[in-house]
Homo-oligomer: A and B are copies of this chain.
């Protein structure tokens, strides 16, 4: 029998149709795995040696004595060549009758995670992946200094059906001059819950998750990885720090390392259980210049089902895998895959 679950923060509903619940192998593609990608692809703009194929870098971790836009880097950040928003645009509104538009001001960067074309997060060393997350932090700190931006979103697309247009491992960062609707609904939901219950909903959620355990996939001293009670799609995960004081832009190196490790672990579990499914992840970090009370979290969204007319027309997700089942499979992922 399907049930409706209500997100405790946004209050949005999700239909969980557990009798249609699928085990991980039902989602795995039956075909042979794709041929392994080579370490270097001559036409790839993100491969080492091809630095001239991207716009000039804005940041990099590179060996002492090497020049910008030359080899010697291990993580490299460049402006997106096809930006969704552009720093040479503006934010002035213009109105014609009922319609208002503004310039598409913003910052859109690509964080190239590795010089090696085939070094995906699940095969990268823990050390390499920590450097990627250290770059996330550094770019976020830099964008926070831009007085015209109000928020930034760091995200990653894996697989063509999740919107990745280039295979070489990379993340993206967009700085926005406004608070986008998804973040706004989270902020409003938190305020609504706090005014009713006198505490932050994430505190209540994590307390219950750790007590019940059935939706917890992994935890470290400072972070919890869990399948949200009202997950909108199969195998969706959240990663949250146990305190709002832990924010990416200001995290100490120890905590940053721990965050990198639990994120990498979650991606490796999805890979072990589901064969590197197409997915996106999004880092919901604190708006710039806020009061510091924002509780950050990561949403990892595997793209195992397609939103159709029902989901587009209602905004209600249909999740055919109970989050409790997803969490169990992902807890057991490494043992199951041998």
Contact = CB atoms under 8 A, between A and B. Distances in A.
Give the copy number: 2
A273 interface: no
A326 interface: no
- Output the residue of A12, A86, A101 with the most chain B CB within 10 A: A101
A289 interface: no
A174 interface: yes
A3 B157 contact: no
A99 B8 contact: yes
Given A20-B82, A172-B309, A104 B3 contact: yes
A4 interface: yes
A154 to B, nearest CB: 9
Interface residues on A, range: 35 or more
Contacts of A309: 153, 155-157, 162-163, 172, 280-282
A306 B104 contact: no
Interface of A: 1-6, 8, 12-13, 15-17, 20, 82-86, 88-89, 97-104, 153, 155-157, 160-164, 172, 174, 176, 178, 180-183, 185, 201, 204-205, 208, 229-230, 280-282, 284, 299, 301, 306-316, 318
